[in-house]
Structure 1
Amino acid sequence: MEAVLEQVEQLPALLAVSRSALVRDWDSLTLDRALEWTRYFQHLHNRFRTRPRLREALGRRLRRGQPGPLLSFPQLGRCPQLLGLALLENRALPPAACHRLLHSLLQPAAAEVGPEPRSLVLLARRKAASRLLALPRGLPRPLEGMEPQLQAEAQLLLSRLREEGQEVEPAGEAAERLRWLSGVLEQLPQPRAFEVVAAALLLLRRGSAAEQAGGRGRDGSSLDGNQASAAGEECVAGPLLSWLLGSLERFSAFCLCLPGSLLASLAGHYSQLSRPYLDLLTVWGCHLLYDPLQGRWVKSCLDKAQLSWEELRERFSCLCQGSALLRGQTQAALKLLKAQDGDFKVRGLSVWTDVLMEVEESLRKEAEC
């Protein structure tokens, strides 16, 4: 077994070489040997995928000494695709070796042909994903219209997360999946990474709502299907939410980057987000002071106050325009903050009194319309 572990430990080096200028010396025979090694690693994956202790041992050996995004056991099953994608991206690969690579992809070895010959499909999909995710981006755009490119990136991320979820054994390898997700998202500029995650969560929410609306039969026979769908959504949304909430600095940047209407929509569907978001708004609101000369709330300290008074009011208003549950939670939080701040009845003494009064006035006007 130690010999197998030592062989697996060479995979990161093989993938690193495939992305380097060293491949300029590769000929067709060298390429065949590299592909043969990837097929061997794929065989190890298929052989040990149902044996948790061996999976764990192989995963630990893969992670040893890796400088970049960590590989994990599921990547063993995709070694031919990982190597093929790296080589196709590498312009140093000689024409003869590149021709040989394309031939091997179009006509895979007999050992690779099974009931689901998806190698070329997966390779093409990841090639497209790498192109999409590498495109330069400007300032973050609102997600209400969800531009086609952003939607494509989010759908690719969801598809990849679903594949990872199918790969993980019942014993669970959530930490490995979260580690993989972190490696992918940290390669993107932070504003774009936040947009992609928000779009993915929004697509999950829309898909779940559509299934629940259109999947009910008269006899209620679709109940099990809806429950399975909800479980599948949780399996995919879980790593995204864990990544967001795993760092207060990251979650704060996420909330600053995106519009209040979108954050309210996500908080209304994902209960894990609502409380941390309210706590964050509370911290930001505490850094506002009332300026009697201007007659308005202003930032007390520019390096700490993240939101202006207008932005804070708008974000609480968006939360109160959401679901009844979210509206009740938001109003309850504001009333508690108002009471803790002195329970004032007039404006200009407590930021929470003023926010609550603005929100309740807005809700009254909506009810009258």
Structure 2
Amino acid sequence: MEKICRDLEGTVQLLAVSGTRFVSQWDAAALHRAFRWARYCQELHARFHTDTEARRTLEGALRLANARLGGVFGQCRDLEFADLARCEFLLCSNLMQNPALHQSAIRLFLDGSGPAFPYLEELIGYKAATGLLAHAWESEEDQGFHDPAVATQGRILRGRLDDLMLHHDSERRSVDLLDSILQECKGERRQVAYILAAALLSGKSKDDDGRAQEVIADWLQRDRDLLQTFCRVLPVSSITQVVKVSTKFREAYRDVLKSWAHTLKYDINEGQWVQTSEQAVSFGDLVDHFRSLLCASPSLKKETDKVLMEMKAADGDFEVRGLSVSSDVLTELKNNAI
């Protein structure tokens, strides 16, 4: 027990150092050793958390270690016995938010077999962490996402979803993960929309079967407000890219465009279509969405032309301006043909 008490003092020191500039000297090997030590502490918690006498002794050792090291490391958080159960996560959290960590060590976080990978999903909402990781990516096309933190959040999310696809209960696990991201972002739907788009557009691995993308599309359709936000706030070009990679999203997007069209009303005095809902877009923006689809590919052009003609027929197949928004969209697209 005396040795274990000394080990706990080493744990307090490890977590304290992980938040300081000294981690700049850690390479990948040192990082692996740190995580092995953290796992050892989790094993100690599992072994002794139900042993009242042993736990009391270990809690005392932690209090002494916290007191001794507090004066050395300043504002570091006291480590409690219950924290040992999540020692790996605490280590990961400290390192992810420490700009002193060397890039060679950071890349370990991005490795699907690395010790920190299982905890990344809990840190997706931490901008400081994802900002740090963003500097470790090699230069790649950003698909229109200029905030490196958002691009990194999306890439981490996609990696976790791809990993979850290997489990028999992948759907439940994936929904739980996506729900947790919405919660971590505190309901900031615009931020969530950009993270999801970055995940959908992140590079595919050779073994990728597209299931992760369809999971995201399915989850988006469960929250109508989030789906509307996704389609409204993202650049039209980015949405078109998502349409190309996800069949399920393509179908949901068409429904959103139709619903937006139905919210527009023609103002006779102004001589134009006006919005009647904050969740919708203007007539000009609606035209831009359809134009982007028409320019995307021959197959999408054919599908989009068909959708517009169906919408026009459903409206009464009018040709007079102001009677059918779909007819006026078609006229605008024809008059300003690409």
Deviation at 1:159, TM superposition (A): 2.5
Counterpart of 2:238 in 1: which secondary structure? helix
**d(CA) in 1 for partners of 2:308, 2:113:** 56
Deviation at 1:157, TM superposition (A): 2.1
For 1:28, which of 9, 12, 15 is the aligned residue? Answer: 9
| 2:247 matches 1:271 | yes
Alignment of 1:221-240 (within 5 A): 229=206, 232-240=208-216
1:163 maps to 163
| 2:189 matches 1:193 | no
**d(CA) in 1 for partners of 2:45, 2:213:** 30
**Deviations 1:309-331 (CA, angstroms, capped at 9, x unpaired):** 11111111111111222222211
Q: Are residues 292 and 360 of structure 1, via their aligned partners in 2, closer, same or farther at CA, if it must alter by over 3 Å? A: same
| 2:94 matches 1:118 | no
For 2:92, which of 85, 102, 105 is the aligned residue? Answer: 85
For 1:285, which of 254, 258, 261 is the aligned residue? Answer: 261
Q: Are residues 40 and 164 of structure 1, via their aligned partners in 2, closer, same or farther at CA, if it must alter by over 3 Å? A: farther
Q: Are residues 84 and 329 of structure 1, via their aligned partners in 2, closer, same or farther at CA, if it must alter by over 3 Å? A: same
Q: Are residues 133 and 186 of structure 1, via their aligned partners in 2, closer, same or farther at CA, if it must alter by over 3 Å? A: farther
**d(CA) in 2 for partners of 1:176, 1:121:** 16
* Contact 1:38 1:79 (C-alpha < 8 Å) held by counterparts: yes
Deviation at 1:35, TM superposition (A): 5.2
Deviation at 1:342, TM superposition (A): 1.4
Deviation at 1:356, TM superposition (A): 1.4
Alignment of 1:1-369 (within 5 A): 28=9, 36=40, 38-39=42-43, 81-85=88-92, 118-119=114-115, 130=126, 131-133=128-130, 144=144, 146-166=146-166, 168=167, 171-188=168-185, 189-204=188-203, 207=204, 229=206, 232-299=208-275, 301-303=276-278, 306-362=280-336, 365-366=337-338
AA of the residue aligned to 1:161: L
AA of the residue aligned to 2:129: L
Counterpart of 1:321 in 2: which secondary structure? helix
AA of the residue aligned to 2:169: G
Q: Are residues 245 and 133 of structure 1, via their aligned partners in 2, closer, same or farther at CA, if it must alter by over 3 Å? A: farther
**d(CA) in 2 for partners of 1:82, 1:290:** 56
**d(CA) in 1 for partners of 2:223, 2:229:** 10
Counterpart of 1:174 in 2: which secondary structure? helix
What TM-score, normalized by structure 2, do the two folds share? 0.61
**d(CA) in 2 for partners of 1:42, 1:27:** 14
**d(CA) in 2 for partners of 1:174, 1:261:** 29
Counterpart of 1:286 in 2: which secondary structure? helix
Deviation at 1:147, TM superposition (A): 3.8
Deviation at 1:175, TM superposition (A): 0.6
**d(CA) in 1 for partners of 2:124, 2:253:** 34
Q: Which structure 1 residue ranges, 5 or more long, are not aligned?
A: 1-25, 44-77, 91-105, 107-115, 136-141, 209-228
AA of the residue aligned to 2:144: E
**d(CA) in 2 for partners of 1:120, 1:293:** 62
What TM-score, normalized by structure 1, do the two folds share? 0.56
Q: Are residues 355 and 165 of structure 1, via their aligned partners in 2, closer, same or farther at CA, if it must alter by over 3 Å? A: same
**d(CA) in 2 for partners of 1:41, 1:297:** 65
1:15 maps to none
Between 1:191-200 and 1:286-295, the stretch displaced more is: 286-295
**Deviations 1:166-197 (CA, angstroms, capped at 9, x unpaired):** 4x2xx333212221232024312321221111
Q: Are residues 330 and 123 of structure 1, via their aligned partners in 2, closer, same or farther at CA, if it must alter by over 3 Å? A: closer
Deviation at 1:122, TM superposition (A): 7.0
Q: Are residues 236 and 38 of structure 1, via their aligned partners in 2, closer, same or farther at CA, if it must alter by over 3 Å? A: farther
Deviation at 1:352, TM superposition (A): 1.0
Aligned length: 248
Counterpart of 2:253 in 1: which secondary structure? helix
Q: Which structure 2 residue ranges, 5 or more long, are not aligned?
A: 1-6, 15-36, 48-84, 98-104, 106-111, 133-141
Deviation at 1:79, TM superposition (A): 5.5
**d(CA) in 2 for partners of 1:343, 1:306:** 23
Q: Are residues 89 and 143 of structure 1, via their aligned partners in 2, closer, same or farther at CA, if it must alter by over 3 Å? A: closer
**d(CA) in 2 for partners of 1:129, 1:150:** 10
**d(CA) in 2 for partners of 1:350, 1:128:** 44
**d(CA) in 1 for partners of 2:116, 2:241:** 38
Q: Are residues 193 and 87 of structure 1, via their aligned partners in 2, closer, same or farther at CA, if it must alter by over 3 Å? A: same
Identity of aligned residues (%): 23
